[in-house]
Structure 1
């Protein structure tokens, strides 16, 4: 589908008439990290009242439960979504399985790059935290504090680990994040730095298949023609949703707020949405 063929909608009520399963991004669609977007709380609740299966799918390096707590704190109605799948949750389960299979040794020293001291990405896992790259046996990039630190901070922190070829996992492939002081570089950009420094990175989250497989499984493995992915990132939500075989809707809020013609971006990434909306609202 080309950009010219994308159907522009005033709200998601029109999508509810066509699809029964919704895979919804949170940052840039439902909220900006500080407050909900106008109409988003009501639209999410309206989807559930319409009998839809709603799975929130997020490139958050945090596990599902702290993400759900934040949504409730922001004012979203309890029960207005069925499942929450974060890249941090998927990664945590991958690490747990690796531990059970003996592929991840208990006591492995982990350099964790997170935000606001969050440790949910490794809670319950037999990892030992280290703050020095040269001591690390595993690097986990779960979040960015780009509103506090610049890229040179992360280059200095990660350089020794990259030089030693320490395995690195990134549980938030987003390259741009919304902060209280505007858009800043996200964990995906830090992962790119690690690679440029000579290390290798395994990325978990959108647009990669594992997170979609987990989300669709929780939704009951619906017929792909009956599901739609809604997000604000062409690179992650639209490309990932299309690769998973579901319809896609691009919300022009979040990182694309105030963007003009997106045709060049669609062409560059080879990903065209089926629908576009100015905001996540009901009508």
Structure 2
């Protein structure tokens, strides 16, 4: 994709005049994992009052409901979005379909890489948790604890499974995550590590088509000319939106907050947004 003219905005008010359907990232756009960004709660509610269809689309390894519950706890208004699509939800439904079809035998030993002991990614699935890579029959990378461990921790844990070419799924392709102690490596970086150790990984989430297709189905299969994807990651939100044939807006308050060489980032990922805005606020 070649470079294009990028329109700089002061908030999302102009987008509300131009688009009917909004696919919104959460981390780095609505909140930083600890608190909403200034103006984000009001902006999300304003979109719904304006009659827009709002689908939150997130590279979270958790299913939709835990994510929605967190938004409510952070102070976002219930009903200010129509649907929530997480990569964890898309993956769970895929695994459930595999189990129903007999492709995922009951009792399959799963090494789950998650955060804070969270098991929501596999609840209701016929899997048995494995604590090590030695006997795992499936590896699921749903989150990173990169603020707690270094990559060597994951290398030791995953090495035996990768050496045996155990199938691995990553339901959060983000390579960088925002934490209370600053940016750290995300689940996507752990997936890259698994591949470097000899394993193969199936990635589910942005920028891959399945999560965008799921979001657009929930939005009623709208004309893509009336859809805009808003996110803070060029690699995931902008590249994914480009691939889906929809407009994109890059918010600079997340992982790119301190980057001044944006053109180099766009070139690196061969992905260019239609719009750039400093924040997700309604102006």
Q: TM-score range by the shorter chain?
A: over 0.9
Partner of 2:282: 282
In structure 1, the partner of 2:103 is 103
Q: Does 1:148 align with 2:148?
A: yes
State the shift of 1:7 in Å.
Answer: 0.3
How far has the Cα of 1:4 moved from its partner? 6.1
- Residue number in structure 2 paired with 1:15: 15
Q: Aligned partners of 1:35 and 1:236: how far apart in 2?
A: 22
The answer (yes or no) to whether the contact 1:3–1:273 under 8 Å persists in 2 is no
Q: In structure 1, what is the Cα distance between the partners aligned to 2:58 and 2:6?
A: 24
TM-score norm. by structure 2 comes to: 0.99
Partner in structure 2 of residue 82 of structure 1: 82
Matches within 5 A, 1:121-136: 121-136=121-136
1:19: how far off?
0.2
Paired with 2:275 and 2:211, the residues of 1 have a C-alpha distance of: 22
Partner SS for 2:188: helix
Matched residue, 1:245: 245
Aligned to 2:179: 179
Using the TM superposition, give the Cα deviation of residue 261 of structure 1 relative to its aligned residue in structure 2, in angstroms. Answer: 3.0
Runs of 4+ in 1 over 2 A off after TM superposition: 1-4
Q: SS at 2:90's partner residue? A: helix
For 1:96-120, what per-residue CA distance to the aligned partner results, in whole angstroms no more than 9, with x for missing partners? 0000111110100000000011111
Q: CA separation in 1, counterparts of 2:253 and 2:94?
A: 32
SS in 2 for 1:237: helix
Q: Distance in 2 between matches of 1:182 and 1:141?
A: 21
In structure 2, the residue matched to 1:72 is: 72
1:33 corresponds to: 33
How far does the alpha carbon of each residue in 1:173-223 deviate from its partner, in whole angstroms, 9 at most, with x for none? 000000000000000000000000000000000000000000000000100
1:221 aligned partner? 221
Alignment partner of 1:256: what SS? Answer: coil
Alignment of 1:47-62 (within 5 A): 47-62=47-62
Determine the structure 2 residue equivalent to 1:208: 208
Contact kept, 8 Å, 1:252 with 1:278, in 2: the verdict is yes
CA distance in 2, matches of 1:258, 1:45: 28
Partner of 2:18: helix, strand, or coil? coil
Other structure's SS at 1:115 match: coil
Question: Do 1:91 and 1:171's aligned partners in 2 also have CA atoms closer than 8 Å?
Answer: yes
Cα distance between partner residues in 1 of 2:36 and 2:141: 26
How far residue 258 of structure 1 moved from its aligned partner, in angstroms, is 2.0
**Partner SS for 2:106:** coil
Aligned to 1:254, the other structure's residue is in SS state coil
Matched residue of 2:229: which SS? strand
Equivalences for residues 253-272 of structure 1 within 5 A: 253-272=253-272
* Aligned equivalent of 1:169: 169
Deviation of 1:68 (Å): 0.2
Contact 2:99/2:106, CA 8 A, preserved across alignment: yes
Distance of 1:7 and 1:44 partners within structure 2:
21
Structure 2: distance between partners of 1:70 and 1:37? 14
